[in-house]
Amino acid sequence: MSTLPHPTRRSILLLGLILISSVLLAGCGSGGALTAASWPGLSIDDTNAYLAYGPTVYAIDLTTNRESWHYPPEPNRTASFFASPAPSEGGLVIVGGYDNIVYALDPSTGGDVRSAWIFEDASGNIIGGTVVAEDIVLVPSADSNLYALDLSTGDPVWTQPFNTDEALWSAPLVDGNVIYLASLDHRVYAIDLPTGRELWKTEPLNGAIADTPTLAGDLILVGTFNSQIVAVDTERRGEIAWAFDTSGWVWGSPAVADDLAFFGDYMGLAYAVDITNGQEVWRVTVDGPVTTTPAHRDGVIFFVTEAGTVYAFETDSGKPFWTSNPILNGRLLSDPVLSGDTLLVATMDNPCVISAIETETSATRCLLQFEE
């Protein structure tokens, strides 16, 4: 287990207030005030877990459970990271900052990791994670633009960024040469990856969309601040296939397995819905808001709540899979991530910022701990 200095709590709380205010001012719907779903930002590759939290990006070796590197080498209080880092096959790790800057981190430089390039043309915060699609980096910005950058150089690929009518808070989804982009302007866009040209867009979905679309066959699934999950038909250029009403705002993306979509809402309910017809299969009450995307493995779906509890349910019935649920004593606002038979969960308000949970038994250990 690695032990590291704790990020500045004041800066994290300030960012939270800014994001909450932005949601309310945007008039995105009803359901109550929300906290940011992307802190801390957690992702993995075959070697490391990556954590973006406060002013620092960390890489933790999944074999030794020790820190591989962190960036910047020295604290920089002008930078704040919480969008999930995007590791690339070429070795660069791409991460967007709340300072409007995109950093391409090069771990090959050893313990003193530096940026291979930075991109400073965005005029809005990078809240959603960046996406690497072969040799293109896609950057969603709160300035309402989606930028496409060359992975090697950071130079723009398109003649101009793709513009929407409101801020972008989520990473895009890439399927082949098509990008699916969700916006706070209540729409989903289909975009040509090589050129940045719009292919189609949905009609307004009556609520902002703050997380990445989910691909399920010919359908795109999104959660909205209008308390719905909406299925968009990609073969019919964005026509609505069905919509499912929830009890509260849906912040996280659905997870899909065996023709079922799994998701939670801000009122503390977890759902399974048949993606072929939009009909409910089961619902379960949990102990707090669900603002993240659940993780799925071998017939079990894993949810985390803002109250700090990790749940495991059988996918077909919604019955509890574990005899006891881990309680992590902190808010869980980041998507849980599976690494083999281990579930990694990032926690706020707890010195243990990454917990590793055995999926079969719920046995829990600390992977990364900050100094108190």
Cα–Cα distance list, 252 to 23, 36, 273, 282, 287 (Å): 15, 11, 15, 18, 17
Burial 46-57 (b: 16+ CB within 10 A, else e): eebbbbbbbbbb
d(CA 292, CA 334): 6
Q: Other CB atoms closer than 10 Å to residue 100's CB: what's the count?
A: 17
Q: What tokens does 183 get?
A: 């916006």
Each of the 372 residues of the chain gets a pLDDT tens digit; together they read 665 544 444 333 344 444 444 444 443 443 333 333 347 999 999 999 999 998 999 999 999 999 999 999 887 777 788 789 999 998 999 999 999 999 999 998 766 788 999 999 999 999 999 999 999 999 999 999 999 999 999 999 999 999 999 999 999 999 999 999 999 999 999 999 999 999 999 999 999 999 999 999 999 999 999 999 999 999 999 999 999 999 999 999 999 999 999 999 999 999 999 999 999 999 999 999 999 999 999 999 999 999 999 999 999 999 999 999 999 999 999 999 999 999 999 999 888 999 999 999 999 999 988 876
CB atoms inside a 10 Å sphere around CB 82: 32
Q: Are 37 and 128 a contacting pair, CB within 8 Å?
A: no
Q: pTM of the predicted model, to two decimals?
A: 0.90
For residue 94 the two structure tokens come to 């791409």
- Residue 109 is classified by DSSP as G
Q: Which domains are present in the chain?
A: 296-372 (2.40.10.480)
